[in-house]
Every structure is written in structure tokens, then in C-alpha cells.
Structure 1
Amino acid sequence: MTKRIQPQQTAAFYAQAVASFGISLTAMAIGLVYLPATPWVRAFLTLGLLYVVTSTVVLCKVVRDRQEVTEVSSRVDQARLDKLLTEHDPFKVDAA
């Protein structure tokens, strides 16, 4: 059975992703606070920002879950194939 190597993310990549998310969210929040508009407009844009953030998190989870399901099903298929190959003996003669 072949062992597949899982790609691992580095700590630097993880830190960069978290920092990028934090900086962009903070910049948008500061922009909304100092926006020269009425409070209703700011509240509407803040709700829009929160909706974008939550939908992004959900999208990330859905993509990760789909990848895991694909990986598990391919492992099951590989295990079935390995079992068939180990049980098959090309030199066995069936008695007639």
C-alpha cells in the first residue's frame, strides 16, 4: 500500500494568514468608524462586513469538509483494490 504524504502548512504561513485576516478586518472596522455617513449607513455596512466574514468562514469549512470526504473515499477505494490484489493469485489453477 502506498503511503500518501499530507501537505503540512508551516507556522509562518498560518501566522501570515491570521495576521492578514486580522489586519483587513481591523482596517475595515476603522474605515467604518471614520466613514462620513449617518449611523444607519455605518450599521448597514457593518452588517455587510459581518456577513462577508461569516460566509467566508463557512465557505472555508465546506471546502475543507469536501476535501476530507474525497480523501476518505479514495482511501476506501484504495483499500478495496489492495485487498483484491492481495487475494488474487495469477498462478492458481481452478479445478474443473
Structure 2
Amino acid sequence: MREQDKYWLVYAKATFIIAVIAMVISIIKLPGDLLVKGYYSICSLFLVSATITLSKAVRDEAESKRLLNKLEEAKAAQILTDLDE
């Protein structure tokens, strides 16, 4: 893993943790009864879950496209090698 990638991963984890802590504190400090706080808590958890799922889906799609591009490049290289022979 490159040094830059390591720092990016630390940054991403730190910002996620800070955002979750800020969200929890704001829900606790929210004026209103327990029902309102519960509603916002469930919505926040759903938002976090949806964000994680979306980021995984986008990453998986990018990786599959990268693999397909590598396969197409290998096929093209093989065809060019066959034509040279």
C-alpha cells in the first residue's frame, strides 16, 4: 500500500468517526421527546448504511470495469502478437 493511500484511509476513517459522534451528540441535544430522537436516530443509521452500500457498489463496479479493460488489452496484445508472427 502506498503511503498516500494509507493517509487517505486514515483520513476517511477519522472523518467517518467524527461525523457519527457529531450526529449522536446532536440527536441527544435535540429538543423533543424520545419518539422524535428515536426517529432521527433510525433515519441516521439508515443513511449511514445506505452510504456504505453505495460506496461499495461504486467501488465494485469500478473494479469490474478495470478488470474488463485489462482483459481487452490482453486480447488486443495477443492479436497483435499473432499478426506479427
TM-score by length of 1: 0.81
1:10: how far off? 2.5
C-alpha distance 28-8 of structure 1, shift in aligned 2 (>3 A): same
Task: Tell me the C-alpha RMSD between the 2 structures.
Answer: 1.7
Structure with bigger gyration radius: 1
Question: Gaps (5+ residues) in structure 1?
Answer: 1-6
- Seq. identity, %: 29
1:36 aligns with 2:37: no
- 1:9: Cα distance to partner? 4.4
**Greater share of helix residues, 1 or 2?**
2
4+ residue stretches of structure 1 with deviation over 4 A?
Answer: none
Give the distance between the partners of 2:64 and 2:7, measured in 1 at CA: 27
Uncovered stretches (5+) of structure 2, i.e. residues with no partner: none
When the two structures are superposed, what TM-score results if normalisation uses the length of structure 2?
A: 0.90
TM-superposed deviation, 1:15:
1.1
